[in-house]
Every structure is written in structure tokens, then in C-alpha cells.
Amino acid sequence: MQTKTKLSVVVPLYNEAQSVAPLHGRIIKALREFDSFEVLFVDDGSTDSTFAEIQKLAPIVALKLSRNFGQTAALAAGISKATGDVIVTLDGDLENDPSDIPKLITKLQEGFDVVSGWRKNRWQGQWFSRRIPSVIANSLISLATGARLHDHGCTLKAYRRDTLTHLKLYGEMHRMIAAYAKLFCQARLAEIPVSYTSRQFGKSKYGILRSFKVILDLVAIRFFVKYANRPMHFFGAIGFFSCFLGLLALAGMFYFKYALGITFIETPLPTLSGVFTIIGVQFILMGLLAELIVRNSAEAKTFIVEEEVRNT
């Protein structure tokens, strides 16, 4: 499959010294069909010899982050340096098969913005400990975001560059970039089955609790998509509603006092009025503080590149 589209492959790595060389070899073999490509390995503050092993490879763009910022930040660093029209991401532990990359690109060229891999045969024989929690987590994401995928957590994905440039990656958003793209810019999504093999070297950095963190991620992604640039609308609405309840309690308090002759101390309304008003003011102040944070951190990077090496 010859194509004039430039392809960038971004791989985040953390303590993957043994995987670096075989992974690079498989990627280069898979990309022989492409006229123009680049491979970016991002060392996310590894404590082993990962970066030293990366520097032995060619062709390669090697980025070393100043510390361990997390997978989302490592992906963001690689994407920021990528120059391709299409960007492919995959894990650095050899669980993703680079030979699936051409299939992702072929599907992307059908008019999609994001093509995600589906590790269809993952968790065989681990129904209760792995597969069921994974199915529940993926179903929740699909239901909440409208991004209908079987495997949101698969790092092996192909993106049109324009889609990623509209997204700011932070926190733990690497789990749901496709869903984020769907919510934020109505990206057209597709999914194809891809190969999956168990980790060959080292120890998995993910546990079963990862599935249960999805609920928190869903709350975060819904909030950020809707209120990231205007948090005062969220906190302010809650604050003013609480203050309104406080005023209602205050009005009821005076009604009981002067219309029915019931003293203030005979009802809980004075306490309720004070509590609702204080809570309302606090939410409004939280909204103002959030606005200040958003404006002061709009251009802040979530990573620091300590060293960059380009071997051709």
C-alpha cells in the first residue's frame, strides 16, 4: 500500500528497556509500505536503561521527559513533536502488534477521523476478574459519550492530525481519547479487530482497579468538555440555586413569624437559610477561583522534554 500521506507513530515508554529494540524492528517492518513515516519513542521518566536503548535505534525520534508524567502526558509530548498527517499511537510493551497499523490506515482513508483497535481475544479465561469489568467499563463509556467502541482502552489507534490538534490531553485522558474526540469535535469513529499478545518483558502497570476508575474519568470528561473554558457556569449555577433556597427559607421564616406567630427558634428555617446561603457563596467563589486557574493555565504544558535525539 503506497501512500503519500506522512505517518507518525508515537510510542510512550516507561521502564521498557527490553522491549524497545524488538518493538522498533516490528514497527519499521510494518511501515515498509509507506513512502514517508517517522517513529517517535517517548521515555516517560524511566528508571532503567530505556532511553539509552532508544538512542541506539534508527530511524527514530527519541524524547526523554524530565520525570514520570504519566501515559497521557507522554502521548501529548510525542504528538506535539509529530509532523505526520496521520498519527498512530501504540503501547510500548509489545502487546500491540505493529503489523496492524496498515489496516488502521486503510480504514482511516474511508473517511474516518479516528480508527481504534479492538483487542477482541483479550482476557480469554478471565471472565470474572478481567473480562466482565472491562465490558462494563467500555459499555459505560459508550453510553455516556456516544462513542460506540468495544475497547476504548486500546492504545493502538490511528488519528487524523487535525482531530488531535483540537484536543488538549491531560490527567488520565489517554484511556478515552476517542470518546473525548467524539464529544469535543464530533469525530467520526471506526473500530477494527487487532492482534493482542501478552506482555513479554517486565510487569504490567495496570490492575483490575483501572476498570473502576472509568466512572471518575467519565465524570471528568463530561465536565471538561462542557465547562472546561467556563467553569463559572457550572459552579455559579449551583451557587445561585443554593442561595435561592436560602432566600426561600428566609422568606418562610418571616412568614411563620408574622403570619402564623411561630417564633424563629421553633423552626429549622433560620439554620437552613444560613447553611444554603453559605454553601451558595462558597460555590460562587469556587467558580471564580476555577476561572482564574483556567485563564492562568491555558498555555501550561503537562510535560517537560529534557532531551530530544533524532537518528536518521
Reference 309, options 23, 1, 58, 11; nearest CA is: 58
Specify whether the backbone of 267 is left (phi greater than 0), alpha (psi in -120 to 50) or beta: beta
Most distant pair of Cα atoms in the chain: their distance: 88
pLDDT for residue 261: 84
In whole numbers, what is the pLDDT of the chain averaged over residues?
Answer: 87
Q: Per-residue pLDDT for 162 more than 60?
A: yes
d(CA 300, CA 201): 35
* pTM (two decimals): 0.78
Q: Per-residue pLDDT for 243 more than 70?
A: yes
* Per-residue pLDDT reduced to its tens digit, 62-83: 999 999 999 999 999 999 999 9
CATH number of the structural domain 7-228: 3.90.550.10
C-alpha cell at 179: 470518546
C-alpha torsion 228→233→239→245, nearest 10? -140
In this structure, the number of other CB atoms found within 10 A of the CB of residue 281 comes to: 14
* Per-residue pLDDT reduced to its tens digit, 112-138: 999 999 988 776 666 565 677 778 888
d(CA 228, CA 234): 10
pLDDT for residue 258: 86
d(CA 117, CA 112): 14
pLDDT for residue 43: 97
pLDDT for residue 169: 83
Q: Where are the domains of the chain?
A: 7-228, 231-293
